């Protein structure tokens, strides 16, 4: 059993530590240790221009990492921290650009998970942590997922059980005191707008942010996002070719078929998100030719799930849903 004390010693020694947050498990390093940060990029296979998120125990640590806190950022922090919200702010001069992907902005978050808070409090510094998986692949929501990804390459893993939310944090850029939604998450656009007013879309002026690549959050098995009305027809095509196919749907199967593994994920967005990556990992291990996912509704409560599925999809660019 890995203890908080052991994890702190590992961070102090420049080693990597996997730890739970309320969103997904993070692969953490001392944010002030350039060599340790470089180990994150090397182990994940992460592009050097893809920024990390710096996790803090509390707002009193912000002054070391950010140059200023715009009023809209202060309002969002007051309402949603600790919690699943990452704010993009101007970086402090002394922050190494390896953390920021070479940009003048930095992503910061105060997580709510009790183990993450214990780790950050005991360590006394900031922890830079992307999700604890190979770059572009499914995020881990259990300690066992981290072990599956990295084996002995990550020796220190704090086990906090299932991540309560199960998908990555909402990311809002607050540069120039303007709010831009860069990644949807558990905290919705409406909640953000209720706090700070108008929220802009990404736009050309937005900084790079974690999870903003077209292809991301993907299993190894090709994944297709399929309209519910076309799901049965797509399954029939595979069955006619005697191909094994996995299905993640929002309803029960109409019939049992030997070539089909069917998972009814239900219609509750929070429960669906909580189990999404775990279910996709299970389906990914079945040796199927494709994972067919019934497209969720175009509703705000589903935006974060839809974003992840679109990026994971092998069916084409974000926004496309196969209709046949």
What is the domain partition of the chain in residue ranges?
4-196, 223-312
> What pLDDT is attached to residue 319?
38
Which residues does the chain have with pLDDT short of 50? Answer: 315-321, 323-324
pLDDT digits (tens, 9 = 90+) for 75-86: 999 999 999 999
Please give the helix or strand (H or E) that residue 40 lies within, else none.
Answer: helix 34-44
Tokens representing 3?
A: 């203890």
Predicted local confidence at residue 213, as pLDDT: 78
CA distance 11 to 125: 10
Q: 183: closest CA among 41, 17, 50, 323? A: 50
CA distances to 23, 24, 43, 118 from 155, in Å: 22, 18, 13, 19
From CA 37, how far away is CA 52, in angstroms rounded? 9
The yes or no reply on domain 223-312 and CATH 3.40.50.10490 is no
Helix, strand, coil percent values for the chain (each to nearest 5): 35, 20, 45
Other CB atoms within 10 A of residue 314 CB: 15
Place of tokens 């030719």: 289
What is the model's pLDDT at position 318? 38
Please tell me the predicted confidence (pLDDT) of residue 316.
42
pLDDT value at residue 212: 81
Residue 17 tokens read as 């530590």
41 CB neighbour count, 10 Å cutoff: 18
Q: Look-up: residue for tokens 């930095």?
A: 106
* Beta-ladder partners of 294: 226
Q: Where are the beta strands (DSSP E) in 79-168?
A: 85-90, 105-109, 127-128, 156-157
Tell the CATH topology of 4-196.
Answer: DHBP synthase (3.90.870)
Burial of 275-294, coded b for 16+ CB within 10 Å and e otherwise, reads bbbbbbbebbeeebebbbbb
pLDDT in tens, 28-45: 999 999 999 999 999 999
- What pLDDT shows up at residue 314? 55
Identical fold between 4-196 and 223-312: no
Task: Say how many Å lie between the first and final Cα of the chain, rounded.
Answer: 49
Q: Residue 286: what are its φ and ψ, rounded to 5°?
A: -90, -10
List beta partners, residue 106. Answer: 89
pLDDT for res 242: 97
The whole-angstrom separation of Cα 166 and Cα 13 is: 30
> What is the reported pTM?
0.95
């Amino acid at each position: 059993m890995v203890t908080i004390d052991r994890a702190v010693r590992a961070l102090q020694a420049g080693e990597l530590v996997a730890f739970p947050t309320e969103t997904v498990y993070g692969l953490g390093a001392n944010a002030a240790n350039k060599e340790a940060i470089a180990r994150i990029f090397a182990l994940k296979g992460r592009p050097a221009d893809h920024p990390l998120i710096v996790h803090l125990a509390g707002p009193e640590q912000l002054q070391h990492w950010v140059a200023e806190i715009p009023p809209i950022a202060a309002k969002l922090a007051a309402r949603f921290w600790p919690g699943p919200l990452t704010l993009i702010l101007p970086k402090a001069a002394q922050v190494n650009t390896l953390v920021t992907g070479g940009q003048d902005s930095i992503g910061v978050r105060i997580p709510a998970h009790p183990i993450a808070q214990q780790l950050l409090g005991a360590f006394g510094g900031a922890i830079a942590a992307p999700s604890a998986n190979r770059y572009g692949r499914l995020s881990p929501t259990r300690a066992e997922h981290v072990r599956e990804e990295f084996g002995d390459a990550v020796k220190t893993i704090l086990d906090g059980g299932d991540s309560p939310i199960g998908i990555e944090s909402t990311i809002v850029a607050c540069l120039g005191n303007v709010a831009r939604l860069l990644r949807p998450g558990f905290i919705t656009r409406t909640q953000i707008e209720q706090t700070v007013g108008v929220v802009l879309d990404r736009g050309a002026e937005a900084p790079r942010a974690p999870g903003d690549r077209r292809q991301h959050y993907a299993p190894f098995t090709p994944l297709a996002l399929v309209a519910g009305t076309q799901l049965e027809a797509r399954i029939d095509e595979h069955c006619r070719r005697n191909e094994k196919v996995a299905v993640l749907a929002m309803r029960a199967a109409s019939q049992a078929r030997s070539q089909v593994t069917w998972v009814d994920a239900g219609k509750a967005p929070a429960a669906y998100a909580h189990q999404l990556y775990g279910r996709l990992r299970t389906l990914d291990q079945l040796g199927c030719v494709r994972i067919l996912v019934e497209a969720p509704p175009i509703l705000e409560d589903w935006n974060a799930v839809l974003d992840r599925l679109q990026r994971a999809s092998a069916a084409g660019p974000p926004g496309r849903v196969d209709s046949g």
